[in-house]
Structure 1
Amino acid sequence: MPSPCDPQYAPVGDVGAVLMVIDSHLKAIYDGRSEQGAEQRALTAHFTASLDPVDLDDLLDGTCTLIYMFMTWLRKAHESHGKDPVEYVVPSLVAAMRLMPKSFPPEVIPTMAGLVVAAGTGLSPGLWRRQYGYWTDEEMTGLEGTALLLAEHINRITDDQDFATRLITEALDGVGEH
């Protein structure tokens, strides 16, 4: 019997919009800009304020789908070398989260790590999280940061700054062909 957290039951959400945000953050990091510019922050704030609850849920679901897709790739990559992805990915992400207390307050780190563990074990991170109620405001930055950290992790292990974005773009293109 499938789990109620099985990905087949999960809404996909707006993966494309989330991927654009993550890609923008990655490019800023790789260009040596650790902080978003004032103009970028204003655009992001304006965009977020324009969202209705359905749009916001689509972004949340899209972020969880992105986390699932990244962890699926990481799981396959690690397992092909006889390694457990949870053992290698989660400690690295938690260590990175602990270094960024503004983005990851200590109380959200277990939830963000739980999303990665859920996805790493083949469960939908969004459905896993949903069992604990609606997202809190504190988790919003952490959720986006988790997707960003996973993308950066993939880019680092592949030694290709665009690999994670290309991986998802190609997967989305493949869906459109069917």
Structure 2
Amino acid sequence: MSSPCDPQHAPAGDVGAALLMIDSRLKGVYDGKTKTDPEQQALIDQFTASLGPEGANAVLDGACTLIFMFMKWLRMAHEDHDKDVIEYVVPNLVATMRMMPKSVRPEAIPTMAGLLVAAGTDLSPSLWRKQYGDWTKDEMTPLEVTAFLLADYINRVTDDPDFATRLITEALSSADED
């Protein structure tokens, strides 16, 4: 029986824009910058402001698609080693989020953990979240943090600082060819 949270029913959103934002954050961290460059942040803020409500929702759906795709890749990688992605990835990311109280308020962590579990069990994070109402402004940064931490986790597992970004761009390229 198909679930109402089945990924085939979910909008993919603007995965490219979401990936651009996550990749930009990754590069900043990997370059040793502890704070976002003010000029870069101004560009991100300008881009976000230019989206309008529909564009912002598309980027939001795109971030959920990234989370789903990252967790799918991690699930397959963990299964290759007879390990459960939820057992290994979710506690790691939750512990990291708990150490980031300025970016991820404690009350947002259960929602982000739920998104990870939904994606880890092959459900759409955006449709799973939609069951509980609209996204709140306070959940936007934690959502970005969640996608960022997943990408960073993948990059560390593969020992390749561009692997997560390349994984998505290759998937998008092959989808365009189909």
Tell me whether the two structures share a fold, i.e. TM-score over 0.5: yes
Map of 1:20 onto structure 2 = 20
Root-mean-square deviation (Å): 0.6
Deviating above 6 A after TM superposition, structure 1's stretches of 4 or more consecutive aligned residues are none
Q: Which amino acid aligns with 1:25?
A: R
Distance in 2 between the 1:176 and 1:43 partners? 28
- Matching of residues 79-118 of structure 1 within 5 Å: 79-118=79-118
In the alignment, which residue of structure 1 is the partner of 2:150?
Answer: 150
Secondary structure in structure 1 of the residue aligned to 2:51: coil
| Structure-1 residue corresponding to 2:5 | 5
1:41 is matched with 41
* Deviation larger for 6-15 or 43-52: 43-52
Cα distance in 2 for residues equivalent to 1:48 and 1:173: 24
Q: Tell me the SS of whatever aligns to 1:4.
A: coil
CA distance in 2, matches of 1:165, 1:75: 17
1:68, 1:134 → 2: CA distance?
Answer: 19
Partner-residue secondary structure (3-state), 1:52: helix
**What letter is aligned with 1:44?**
I
The 1-side partners of 2:12 and 2:42 are apart by: 27
Q: How many residues align?
A: 178
Alignment correspondent of 1:58: 58
**Hey, what's the Cα distance between the residues in 1 that align with 2:177 and 2:47?**
30
Residue aligning to 1:171: 171
Spell out, residue by residue over 1:84-108, the C-alpha distance to the aligned partner (whole angstroms, 9 max, x if none): 0000000000011011111100000
Deviation at 1:69, TM superposition (A): 0.2
SS at the partner of 2:97? helix
Q: Does 1:130 align with 2:126?
A: no
Structure 2 length as normaliser, TM-score? 0.98
Tell me the alpha carbon deviations over residues 41-80 of structure 1, each in whole angstroms, 9 at most, x when there is no partner.
Answer: 1112222222211101101100000000000000000011
- Partners in 2 of 1:139 and 1:169 — Cα distance? 26
Aligned residues with identical type, % of pairs: 67
Q: Which residue of 2 aligns with 1:70?
A: 70
For structure 1, the 5+ residue unaligned runs are none
Residue 142 of structure 1 and its aligned partner are, at CA, apart by: 0.4
Supply the distance in 1 between the matched residues of 2:150 and 2:88 (Cα, whole angstroms): 12
Structure 2: runs of 5 or more not aligned: none
